[in-house]
Each structure stands twice: as structure tokens, then as C-alpha cells.
């Protein structure tokens, strides 16, 4: 899946404009990057489309600690960075999670690399990840 198809999925699923889909995708990637261990962040980066991979690595900071963020932190970040309402931010988070699962070839959100991501999330983000997997 390339960046264009990824963004199209986010647009369609969250009912966002292309600009909003890009903003929400980058914002979710940033929050997710900082939530994952550096090793897991590198593993996920290998699966991302080229431009998103480059953006992902721009978030790298030597010796960084894992930020223990929760769903409300993700949503607050999306509202602020992507200039969305909380409802749009929630829909955007779900759309990006679902599209990432599609990218990773994980229909339930719990296979392969998706499992590694899921296993590092707190309970509230695990629920959001699994709810995203249920979307058609």
C-alpha cells in the first residue's frame, strides 16, 4: 500500500478531506512512534510507505524513553495538531489504526507486526485498536 492509497482509506473511513487525512495520519504516527519501544518503532517503520517511513524516522530521538500515553492523549493531540473536533479526531484515530492493520495484513489487528504494536498499547488504546479491526 502506498501513501496515496493509505490516505484515501483514512479519508473514506473518517469522512475527512485529504489535508485532514494527512494531518491526522502524521499525528497518529507521531503519537504511536513515541508510545512504542525503539525496537518496535523500527520494526513498524520497515512496513510503512516511503514518505511515512521518512516522517516516522524524523520523530527519532537518540535515547528516547517510551511515552506512556493513552487514548485521550492521542485524541487531544489530534484535535490540536490536525485542527479537528474530538469526534473527528476519534474517527481519524480509528481510521488510521484500521488502515495500518490493512497495511500490515492483519484482519483482526492481532497478527504478525500488528500483534507487536497491540501488545505495547495500554488497555484503552488496545480497545481502540480492536474496534478499528472490526470496521468493514
Domain residue limits, the chain? 3-134
HSE at residue 30, side-chain half, CA atoms within 13 A, is 17
pLDDT per position as a tens digit, 45-99 = 999 999 999 988 888 888 888 989 999 999 999 999 988 999 999 999 999 999 9
Q: Which residues of 33-51 are buried (b: 16+ CB within 10 A; e: fewer)?
A: bbbbeeebbeebbebbbee
Per-residue pLDDT, averaged over 101-125, amounts to 95
User: What confidence score (pLDDT) does residue 59 get?
Assistant: 87
Q: H helices within the chain, ranges in order?
A: 3-14, 18-35, 38-45, 50-58, 71-82, 86-103, 112-119, 123-134
Beta carbons of 132 and 109 less than 8 angstroms apart: yes
Domain 3-134 carries which CATH code? 1.10.490.110
Amino acid at each position: 500500500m502506498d501513501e496515496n492509497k493509505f490516505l484515501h482509506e483514512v479519508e473514506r473511513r473518517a469522512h475527512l478531506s485529504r489535508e485532514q487525512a494527512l494531518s491526522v495520519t502524521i499525528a497518529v504516527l507521531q503519537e504511536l512512534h513515541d508510545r512504542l519501544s525503539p525496537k518496535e518503532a523500527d520494526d513498524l517503520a520497515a512496513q510503512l510507505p516511503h514518505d511515512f517511513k521518512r516522517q516516522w524516522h524524523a520523530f527519532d530521538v537518540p535515547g528516547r524513553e517510551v511515552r506512556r500515553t493513552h487514548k485521550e492523549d492521542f485524541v487531544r493531540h489530534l484535535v490540536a495538531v490536525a485542527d479537528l473536533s474530538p469526534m473527528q479526531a476519534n474517527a481519524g484515530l480509528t481510521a488510521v489504526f484500521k488502515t495500518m492493520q490493512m497495511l500490515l495484513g492483519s484482519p483482526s489487528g492481532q497478527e504478525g507486526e500488528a500483534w507487536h504494536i497491540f501488545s505495547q498499547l495500554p488497555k484503552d488504546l488496545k480497545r481502540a485498536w480492536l474496534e478499528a479491526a472490526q470496521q468493514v
